[in-house]
Amino acid sequence: MLFSRICKRFFVITFSLVICFSFFACRETPLDDPIDEENLPALRDYVIEPGHQSIQTWTDTTAANLTSNIKIGWNLGNTFDAHNSNDNINTPVLTLETRWVNHRTTEENISTIKNAGFNAIRIPVTWFKVLDENYIIREDWIARVTEVVNWAEANDMYIILNTHHDERIFKFTNSSVNNSLIVFKRVWSQIAVQFRNYNEKLIFEALNEPRTIGSSYEWQGGEYSEQRNLNRHYQVFVDTVRASGGNNDKRILMVNTYGASAEQNAMNGLVIPVDPVPNKIIVSIHAYTPFLYAHEYPGDNAWSHNRSQITSIMTLAYNTYVRNGFPVIIGEFGARREKDGPIRDAWAEFYVDEARKRNIPCIVWDDGGRFRLLLRTTNTFDSDTYLDAMMRGAGVR
């Protein structure tokens, strides 16, 4: 999540006015034409270095057990998910990675996060910008993503790898869903093959905040037809990963509500996909709550009078999913740096602790900007008291 939702809509409107200079900057229109799937070339069925060439030792676990072992996580935000209208199939990997945060991720960044108490990392990745005309991912891009995944693995972290900001190729309207499913399958086929040999601590997250940008139900959980089409993507996701070999026949998978919304409508609309392996599905929601305090500036300067907004969404997630055997992860949360101080510290501890009471781990959003936690150039933290508050809430300190 990069901007406030108001800014997101402004970006979309502005972006649509920009003249496209590269093939993929203009990809949205051709995607509405029928894709001849039968004539698309075969995808690679080999692992690109530095991916694991042999199957790693697997400790079998359920989604619930794995989730219970995640204390608290951190998002490598605005990094591999960065993009703009000038990106194309030939844009250098370093340019793509540093487009929004002017820093190349280092192994020390990941070690710093682990040593601070985070035992999970979410790595958001945007893929549309590195696809050729046949929806094949650039090898140098997936190799760089793999390098960072390997650093997290070396730190014995739980790793969540997803598709992020790919609304230009993954669509949920009735007119676009058939093409979207073809592209979605091809993208996830390649990701799954690349990481098929990794152990149980690598989790695949199907999407991010799946939605139709600018629609009237964008942040209210979607309307029925789009919820149905989103659920079709999740079944393709499960089927594709399970068929990709290695350890993927039993890997833990994560699906999102529409828009990753914590609204009742979004939770009601999510149908857990059929999985041949039981107890391997996690549900993800995002919640910057209370919204006017945590997400907006100037917004509200206090939150304690809105404690019920926090507890109600967590209780709803617990009652809808956790108590019915489907664990939940809050994949994004956080409060802006402008709110730094004792009030934000108290919010962070309360938020994470309330989630922990319901067996829901949280993954803080760090975009290197308004939600920055780690100063990546120095491997120091913006606010030690904010960090400590989250760790207390998570039971780490």
Q: In which residue are the tokens 């094949």 written?
A: 136
**Alpha-carbon distance 260 to 219, whole Å?**
9
Look up 332 and say whether it is catalytic.
yes
Hey, what amino acid is at 358?
R
Question: Helices marked H in the chain — which ranges?
Answer: 5-16, 28-31, 63-68, 93-97, 107-115, 139-154, 177-194, 224-242, 264-269, 291-294, 307-320, 342-357, 384-394
Which of 292, 210, 291, 293 lies closest to 254 in space, CA to CA? 210
Q: Helix, strand, coil proportions of the chain in percent (round to 5)?
A: 40, 10, 50
What is the DSSP secondary-structure string of 200-223?
A: TTEEEE--SS-S-TT-TTTTTT--
Q: Is the distance from CB of 122 to CB of 152 less than 8 angstroms? A: no
Bridge-based pairing state of the strands 73-75 and 362-364: parallel
Identify the bridge partners of residue 202 per DSSP, sorted by sequence position: 159
Identify the bridge partners of residue 158 per DSSP, sorted by sequence position: 120
167, 200, 205, 332: which is the annotated catalytic residue? 332
**Alpha-carbon distance 291 to 340, whole Å?**
16
209, 218, 263, 354: which is the annotated catalytic residue? 209
- Report, as residue numbers or ranges, the catalytic residues: 209, 332
